[in-house]
């Protein structure tokens, strides 16, 4: 995003030709913030993470357990690092172990990695901080904080025996080719009522008991924000195909998964935090949202993302 | 005191709104109790004959604990018995003899007897406790999510579609899981329970049923332990 700002002082300097060429250059070298890491290779996931009963009884093991417990009950960090109703385990099923549910054992060896999302090489720490910023609509824990050390230790332990710098089958979410005829959010709406509403509610708000989230919200203030990977229709379609409805993986057609993803992700959710440093919805959409998503698009007469509702996120850490 | 308030309420409410739901509702709770303890006088015998005076059922006989169960969940079950979409030779004639209004009042009565577990302090599942692990973490190698993922923390139940499991009798839970497995019960939404029951082993069914039956006692013991510390 910094690339754009230097363009303006140059523009003001009245060297028209230079300006023009600078603009052309900027367009040519425009960072692709949209490109995702390549999908994992095809084939059955064969990697087997270690079992919880084999977590060692030492300081390392204590950190593994702490990280695991944060992973399955991330709401412990509500109001500090988490400002919505999500837990890591909602999208990374079986405590980050399930294949095609972006399993942790397939992620560990892939970092550090270049990510176009922020145009730099990201460590695993930074990748996890990204999850907090977007998926948890939160404020990332600091590098080296107990929270992140614990989560990284858990992920390290889950990856025991996994190769480094090699994409494993089962990594990330299932890659689903976009249907030839595209996707249809109205058809998705009907499917949602039939297949999803029993758990996530007609209003997409999920369900809670005794103050605990059981079924996570899919849109609204409690959901992942407009910057989270899951708001992309392709990502959500892949997740839905391989993991939803719970206990019935691979029962929906590819078309169903895309239509459902389109319906779910064409609802309001907390603002993309990158909007704070952008001048307009247009520039945010243009810079960060040139992908299969509904951010900035008009749905039912309203432009999605045209608001300054950041959910519960106060914007800065409270300390 | 309560009586005085109720009487005053009636005095005010009756003349103002003869058709008010309030008046019916006031009659409801006693009507629900009457059906539960004496039957509806139209063919449905007293629920308490089998489910006990407090709705807690009977493990040896396989009669479920219905105290505190979600009213809408119970209402659906009674309608399903009446329609035959849930099959049970004892419940079918009683459910058929209940009017829609009877069903609403009697299920509300039992929901309000509420004795289901509400303690939801987070605890970590023990990998060596098979029941606890299945309840809290599932058996994903066999595509079995954790029971609590739908039935809520400590199996306390979630909304109208996912009934409470904690405190339910082991015999009843086993019978239901086996019924889903065999296909003799299939009134769950979207077959969500059926597909999972089919993947459960005999051992898992036995272990999980015992786990939930004993859970309220274990939670109480755990919280007593904490208090006495």
**Residue A274's closest CA among A141, A84, A133, A140?**
A133
The single-letter DSSP state of residue A121 is E
Out of B137, B161, B191, name the one closest to residue A95 (CB): B137
Is A146's pLDDT higher than 90? Answer: yes
Residue at which a domain ends, from A158, A176, A206: A158
ipTM exceeds 0.90, yes or no? no
pLDDT at B88: 95
Which residues in B lie closer than 8 A to residue A76 (C-beta atoms)?
122
pLDDT at A7: 38
Looking only at the bridges linking them, the beta strands covering A207-209 and A212-215 are: antiparallel
Residue A176 domain flag: no
| Span A8-37, average pLDDT | 45
Is A153's pLDDT higher than 70? Answer: yes
The rounded distance, in Å, linking the Cα atoms of B112 and A104 is 44
Is A49's pLDDT higher than 80? Answer: yes
Is A25's pLDDT higher than 70? Answer: no
Using 50, 70 and 90 to split pLDDT, how confident is the model at A196? very high
The number of residues in chain A equals 319
- Do the Cβ atoms of B152 and A212 come within 8 Å? yes
Which residues in A lie closer than 8 A to residue B161 (C-beta atoms)?
198-199
- Do the Cβ atoms of B128 and A194 come within 8 Å? no
Are A81 and A141 found together in one domain? yes
The rounded distance, in Å, linking the Cα atoms of B60 and B41 is 28
Q: Regarding predicted confidence, which is higher, B219 or A230?
A: A230
Residue of B nearest to A201 (CA): B159
pLDDT at B145: 98
Q: Which residues of A touch B (CB under 8 A)?
A: 51-53, 65, 69, 73, 76, 93-95, 97-98, 194-195, 198-199, 207, 209-212, 214-215, 245-249
Residue A312 domain flag: no
Helices (H) and strands (E) in chain B, counts: 11, 0
The rounded distance, in Å, linking the Cα atoms of A54 and A230 is 32
pLDDT at B119: 58
- Do the Cβ atoms of A97 and B156 come within 8 Å? no
Using 50, 70 and 90 to split pLDDT, how confident is the model at A249? very high
Are A299 and A206 found together in one domain? yes
Residue of A nearest to B199 (CA): A247
pLDDT at A130: 95
Are A57 and A154 found together in one domain? yes
Q: Which domains does chain B have, with CATH numbers?
A: 15-112 (1.10.760.10), 130-223 (1.10.760.10)
Residue A207 domain flag: yes
Task: For chain B of 229 residues, list the mean pLDDT of each consecutive stretch of 10.
Answer: 40 37 52 95 94 95 96 98 96 97 96 72 88 97 97 95 96 98 96 97 98 92 77
Residue of A nearest to B152 (CA): A214
pLDDT at A18: 39
pLDDT digits (tens, 9 = 90+) for A77-133: 999 999 999 999 999 999 999 999 999 999 999 999 888 878 889 999 999 999 999
Using 50, 70 and 90 to split pLDDT, how confident is the model at A31? low
pLDDT at A59: 98
What domain range includes position A234? 185-303
Are A194 and A291 found together in one domain? yes
- Do the Cβ atoms of A212 and B195 come within 8 Å? no
Task: Check: CB of residue B177 under 8 Å from CB of residue B209.
Answer: yes
pLDDT at A5: 38
- The total number of structural domains in chain A stands at 3
Is A19's pLDDT higher than 60? Answer: no
HSE, CB side, 13 Å, CA atoms: give it for residue A180: 0
| CATH number, residue A110 | 1.10.760.10
Which residues in B lie closer than 8 A to residue A198 (C-beta atoms)?
161, 189-190, 192
- Do the Cβ atoms of A246 and B140 come within 8 Å? no
Residue A107 domain flag: yes
Nearest chain B Cα distance for residue A214, angstroms? 6
Residue of B nearest to A55 (CA): B127
- Do the Cβ atoms of B192 and A215 come within 8 Å? no
Residue A116 domain flag: yes
| Span A230-242, average pLDDT | 97
Residues 6+ apart with CB under 8 A from A228: A134, A135, A137
Are A14 and A108 found together in one domain? no
Out of B144, B152, B190, name the one closest to residue A209 (CB): B152
Residue A294 domain flag: yes
- B76, with CB counted inside 10 A (0-12, 13-18, 19+), is buried
Task: Check: CB of residue B157 under 8 Å from CB of residue B70.
Answer: yes
Residue A319 domain flag: no
Q: Which of A73, A76, A105, A214 to mutate to test the interface with B (most CBs of B within 10 A)?
A: A214
pLDDT at B227: 73
Out of A94, A214, A245, name the one closest to residue B140 (CB): A94
What interhelical angle do B21-38 and B100-112 show, nearest 10? 80
Strands (E), chain B: none
Torsion of CA A198, A203, A205, A209, to 10 degrees: -50
Are A75 and A114 found together in one domain? yes
- Do the Cβ atoms of B124 and A248 come within 8 Å? no
């Amino acid at each position: 995003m910094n690339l754009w700002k230097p363009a303006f002082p140059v523009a003001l300097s009245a060297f028209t030709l230079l300006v023009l060429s600078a603009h052309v250059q900027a367009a040519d070298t425009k960072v692709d913030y949209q490109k995702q890491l390549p999908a994992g290779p095809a084939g059955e996931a064969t990697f087997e993470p270690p079992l919880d009963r084999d977590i060692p009884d030492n300081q390392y093991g204590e950190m593994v357990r702490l990280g695991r417990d944060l992973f399955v009950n991330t709401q412990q960090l509500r109001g500090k690092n988490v400002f919505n109703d999500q837990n890591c385990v909602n999208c990374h099923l079986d405590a980050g172990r399930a294949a095609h549910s972006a399993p942790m054992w397939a992620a560990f060896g892939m970092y550090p990695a270049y990510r176009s999302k922020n145009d730099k090489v990201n460590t695993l720490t930074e990748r996890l901080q990204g999850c907090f910023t977007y998926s948890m609509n939160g404020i990332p824990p600091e590098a080296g904080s107990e929270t992140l050390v614990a989560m990284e230790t858990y992920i390290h332990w889950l990856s025991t025996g996994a190769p480094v710098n090699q994409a494993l089958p089962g990594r990330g979410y299932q890659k689903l080719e976009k249907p030839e005829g595209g996707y249809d959010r109205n058809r998705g709406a009907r499917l949602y009522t039939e297949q999803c509403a029993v758990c996530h509610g007609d209003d997409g708000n999920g369900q809670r008991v005794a103050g605990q989230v059981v079924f996570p919200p899919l849109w609204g203030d409690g959901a992942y924000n407009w910057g989270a990977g899951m708001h992309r229709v392709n990502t959500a379609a892949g997740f839905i195909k391989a993991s939803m409805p719970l206990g019935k993986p691979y029962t929906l057609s590819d078309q169903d998964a895309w239509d459902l993803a389109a319906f779910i992700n064409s609802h309001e959710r907390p603002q993309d935090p990158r909007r704070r440093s952008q001048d307009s919805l247009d520039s945010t959409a243009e810079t960060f949202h040139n992908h299969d998503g509904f951010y900035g698009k008009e749905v039912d007469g309203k432009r999605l993302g045209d608001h300054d509702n950041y959910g519960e996120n106060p914007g800065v850490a409270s300390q | 005191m309560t009586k005085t308030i109720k009487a005053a309420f009636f005095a005010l409410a009756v003349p103002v709104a003869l058709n008010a739901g309030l008046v019916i509702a006031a009659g409801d709770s006693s009507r629900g109790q009457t059906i539960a303890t004496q039957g509806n006088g139209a063919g449905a015998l007293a629920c308490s004959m089998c489910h006990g005076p407090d709705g807690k059922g009977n493990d040896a006989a396989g009669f479920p604990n219905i105290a505190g169960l979600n009213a809408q969940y119970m209402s659906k079950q009674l309608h399903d018995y009446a329609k035959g979409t849930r099959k049970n030779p004892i419940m079918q004639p009683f459910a058929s003899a209940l009017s829609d209004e009877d069903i609403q009042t009697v299920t509300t009565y039992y929901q309000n007897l509420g004795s289901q577990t509400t303690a939801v302090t987070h605890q970590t599942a023990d990998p060596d406790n098979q029941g606890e692990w299945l309840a809290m973490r599932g058996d994903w190698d066999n595509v079995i999510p954790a029971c609590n993922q739908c039935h809520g923390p400590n199996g306390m139940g979630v909304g109208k579609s996912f009934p409470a499991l904690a405190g339910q009798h082991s015999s009843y839970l086993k019978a239901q899981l086996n019924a889903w497995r065999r296909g003799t019960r299939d009134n769950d939404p979207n077959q969500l329970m059926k597909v999972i029951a089919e993947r459960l082993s005999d051992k898992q069914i036995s272990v999980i049923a015992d786990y939930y039956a004993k859970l309220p006692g274990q939670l109480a013991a755990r919280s007593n332990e904490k208090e006495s510390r």
